[in-house]
Amino acid sequence: MRTTDAAATTALLVALGFTERLIVTDEADPEVIVHAEYALGETGGIMFGSVRNDGSALDSVGGNSVYVVVDTEREVDRLYEEIIDMGHAIVRPVETQPHGGREFDFRDHDGNSWGVGSYRGA
């Protein structure tokens, strides 16, 4: 995933419970992340970097879709309020799903679609 604002992406990931595993910054500009890895629990994770501004596919931002599974419905509700406080656009408000669990959807600063829920799948 690519981002136009590495600090905002990092803040979002930390708010969602991700922990830093690796960050490689550009030697000439430490604000630019060449490659970052953030873990979620024992098996989840995401990799991202700053846009490259070189006309390549690595300039593309937005259009990604991510679903983050959290442990409890109470955690879904807490994160819903935190995501609102961070100023992200809510696409689907928090609600209990007929298939189980509690979920909500939002878009981040780059236009990526995020779902947060307690449903772990069948």
- In the block, residue with structure tokens 């879904």: 76
- In the block, residue with structure tokens 């509690």: 102
Contact 117, 71 (CB under 8 A): no
Contact 9, 48 (CB under 8 A): yes
pLDDT at 38: 96
Task: Choose among 33, 40, 50: nearest CA to 16.
Answer: 40
The verdict on pTM exceeding 0.85 is yes
What's the pLDDT tens digit per position in 23-61? Answer: 999 999 988 999 999 999 888 899 999 998 777 777 788
pLDDT of residue 83 exceeding 80, the answer is yes
Helices (H), ranges, 16-111: 73-85
What's the pLDDT tens digit per position in 64-77? Answer: 999 999 999 999 99
